A and B are shown apart, each in its own frame.
Chain A
Amino acid sequence: MATLELVVSDGVTAAPARRGRRLGPLFWAAIGWMALIFAVAILAPVLPLPSPTDMDMLERRAPFSLEHWLGTDGLGRDELARLIHGARISLVVGLCAPIIGLTIGGALGMLAGYFRGRFEALVVGSMDVLLAFPPLILALAVTAYLGQSILNLTLILGVLGIPAFMRVARAATLSLARREFVIAAEALGATHARILLRELLPNVMLPLLAFFLLGVAVTIVAEGALSFLGLGVPPPISSWGSMIGEGRESLDVAPRLAFLPAIAMFLTVLSFNLVGDSLRALTDPRQGAL
């Protein structure tokens, strides 16, 4: 009785479906840059680098040399060491803050989109309040009150990211919650928790993860902006943003002091965006649905 399908079955079954999609050299370049940044950031304490905080007042703004590969900054500190230690701060904040937004915002958004009603109104309303707050002013107020530390910086950037993640999760959930596979699961006696975790989460996760990588990029820039304004990590520690800020003073004599961290940030953010886009295109099983 299944003659039509029996004929095609053997050749086609379990054929690897997405071998054909090519990733391109740009993707691999982005992956390479990210791997390099992660590697040096993680290995920074064991790498044979000069201390990023030791000043050498006789060698201020030294040019590139064998001793200081990328020269020294305005206070005679090794630029390369500061860049690498700055990467640690940028990456820790850039990854941890969106994770806060992803978990809290994603959970709130899914619950709001699934249960609707008063809960949804409350969540959306409170997120609108949070969105209406000027983010930099809020960050300024919080760091002034709680003090400048990596933890505080991460928390405030994370909280500021919650509304965006909430909206992405809610929009995705809304479009899925009344689809037939959800109703079918309900008809088979699935609990709300099960429907949310097993039926909806795998679907919502795709747009959320793509948005997460974008969030990492945005957060690295935001952390840079805050550090540039002197609201980021406290001074002796370097971060890309604070390095650009310090380099501003000597833009006319040694522009590289501002440009080197700017280039590092630019390449990292670009890599995250490229990888995010490619991964989303690659892991979306619905792509082949047509």
Chain B
Amino acid sequence: MSGRALLSVEDVAVDLPTPRGNLRAVDHVDLSVGAGRTLGIVGESGCGKTMLSRAILQLLPKKARLSGRVMFDGQDLARCGAGVLRKLRARSLAVVFQDPMTSLNPVLTIGTQLVETLQEHLELDAATARQRSAELLAAVGIPAPEQRLAQYPHQLSGGMRQRVAIAIALSCEPKLLIADEPTTALDVTIQAQILDLLAREQRRRHMAMILITHDLGVVAGRTDEVAVMYAGRVVERAPTVQLFKTMRMPYTEALFAAIPKLDAAPHTPLPAISGRPPDPTRPLRGCSFSPRCRYANGRCQQEKPALADAESPDHRYACFHPIAPAAGGAS
């Protein structure tokens, strides 16, 4: 937030035409990430996290309509031409996807995929590119990288594949890395390794990162700032420490309560959020969380709360009945 932002998303909305009507996947979102900072975007499935990341990368489905501005390094990505966009993507932007099974080309070896990306972006000769590939694989914690180069994706484990995907993303030295649920498809022991790897490489390369996840626990120790999304909108945004200390939005609180606790007695039922997210093709008049919110009253069903400042301008939330700061986080 402070200083010059590397990326600022201003009033971005994404509409997807569907047979059932217009689907507003992202609803007027404002966000910004400074150089070298980490932003976490948290929300449940279908709340628009992935669409927002695709909107930033300008990789939306062809039928989608985007409004608002995506300012990256002083340029509006939504309005620059195909050539400029390609150069920006090649030099400054990178993405790691959720499922490493599908994010690598199944019929090309790891080496081919890495070497070609390097040759394309950094204009290296084949031998240097190969050497750099091995270094990159070593940097993301893959043992015996030289041999791995000759292998196909299906010969690697899920965690390994995600490391390779990260190596490919890092190969062009991006300024901003978007990690779209990078650990969701992996098992828990690998999750922590991959997140640590991302954090380490981010610090080393001084790159900004957007970490998209549905797990507040993932975001907790690894981000500078967190935005909580619900039904396409940002409903609470705060520096990470502050958010966990004083969460104001009932949805954030409910998400937090849904994290399994280690010290809970066995067979304690997990406090899930009842109900389902609203149908995005039939937007509600009031607050979109109101049908599931235990604090909701008549006003919540009538008007939409705007994103308003809390005690500090860094902490903003959209709720008429914020949780009192003292009670925040205790749930």
Contacts and interface: CB of A to CB of B under 8 A. Distances in A.
Interface of A: 1-2, 4-6, 9-10, 13-14, 17, 116, 179-181, 183-184, 186-191, 194, 198-199, 202-203, 206, 285-286, 288-289
A183 B97 contact: yes
26 contacts: A1-B196, A2-B141, A2-B193, A4-B159, A4-B193, A5-B160, A10-B143, A10-B144, A180-B98, A180-B99, A183-B97, A184-B95, A184-B165, A184-B169, A187-B59, A187-B89, A187-B94, A187-B95, A188-B117, A188-B121, A188-B168, A189-B91, A189-B121, A285-B154, A289-B106, A289-B154
A288 B102 contact: no
A184 B168 contact: yes
B177 to A, nearest CB: 10
B112 to A, nearest CB: 9
Contacts of B101: 289
Contacts of B22: none
B106 A188 contact: no
Given A14-B147, A285-B152, A286-B154, 14 more contacts: A5-B141, A5-B142, A14-B150, A180-B103, A188-B117, A189-B87, A189-B89, A189-B90, A189-B120, A189-B172, A285-B106, A286-B106, A288-B154, A289-B101
A188 B172 contact: yes
Task: List the 7 closest A-B pairs by CB distance, nearest first.
Answer: A189-B90, A189-B89, A13-B147, A2-B141, A9-B143, A180-B103, A14-B147
Given A186-B59, A189-B121, A9 B107 contact: no
B102 A179 contact: yes
Given A2-B143, A10-B144, A183 B151 contact: no
B105 interface: yes
B103 A288 contact: no
Interface of B: 57, 59, 62, 86-91, 93-95, 97-99, 101-108, 116-117, 120-121, 141-144, 147-148, 150-152, 154-155, 157, 159-160, 165, 168-169, 172, 189-190, 193, 196-197
Main secondary structure of the interface of A (DSSP, over half): helix
Contacts of B86: 189-191
Contacts of B196: 1
Nearest to B192: A1
A179 B99 CA distance: 10
B143 A188 contact: no
Nearest to B109: A285
Contact of A17 (B87, B120, B155, B190): B155
Highest count of chain B CB atoms <10 Å: which of A1, A181, A191, A194? A181
B102 to A, nearest CB: 4
A180 B97 CA distance: 7
Contacts of A14: 147, 150-151
Contacts, number: 105
Contacts of A183: 59, 95, 97
Given A188-B89, A189-B87, A285 B97 contact: no
A183 B96 CA distance: 10
Contact of B107 (A184, A194, A286): A286
A184 B172 contact: no
B107 to A, nearest CB: 5
Contacts of B165: 184
Contacts of A194: 120
A189 B104 CA distance: 16
B285 to A, nearest CB: 34
A2 B159 CA distance: 10
Given A2-B141, A5-B143, A6-B143, A181 B104 contact: yes
Contacts of A198: 108, 116
Contact of A199 (B105, B143, B157, B190): B105
Contacts of A190: 86, 120
A6 B93 CA distance: 30
Contacts of B103: 180-181, 184
B93 to A, nearest CB: 7
Nearest to B106: A286
Nearest to A3: B193
Nearest to B99: A180
B120 A187 contact: no
A14 B169 CA distance: 24
Contacts of B160: 5
Nearest to B140: A2
Contacts of B121: 188-189
Contacts of A202: 105, 107-108
A4 B169 CA distance: 23
A285 B108 CA distance: 9
A9 B138 CA distance: 13
B90 A188 contact: yes
Contact of A184 (B88, B90, B97, B159): B97
Given A187-B93, A198-B116, A181 B141 contact: no
Contacts of A285: 106-107, 152, 154
B183 to A, nearest CB: 14
A180 B50 CA distance: 12
B157 A5 contact: yes
Highest count of chain A CB atoms <10 Å: which of B120, B148, B190? B120
B212 to A, nearest CB: 14
